[in-house]
Amino acid sequence: GIALGRLGRFPEAIDQLHQALRLNPNSADAHSNLALALLASGKARDSIPEFEAALRLNPELHGAADNLRRAQARLK
């Protein structure tokens, strides 16, 4: 999912990250990466619950906190 996102192939990245979360729903990194892919594809509203899930699972993910604020700002 991450590699596809870096290539700008966000729909495929999002699908891959959803699959990763089905296998490991407690992966903070997968939630954060899914949120980033959603945000990058213009889906700020959809990214917010994923950033929040990542932070619930790992409050030390400071990048997720920063990106959550960025996503929230896009909705204003």
Domain layout of the chain by residue ranges: 2-74
pLDDT tens per residue across span 12-43: 889 999 999 999 999 999 999 999 999 999 99
Question: In the predicted model, is pLDDT for residue 10 greater than 80?
Answer: no
d(CA 44, CA 64): 13
* Count, residues in the chain: 76
Mean pLDDT for 41-66 is 96
Mean pLDDT for 46-73 is 97
Closest CA to 73 of 37, 34, 41, 47: 47
d(CA 73, CA 76): 5
CATH for the stretch 2-74: 1.25.40.10
Question: In the predicted model, is pLDDT for residue 47 greater than 90?
Answer: yes
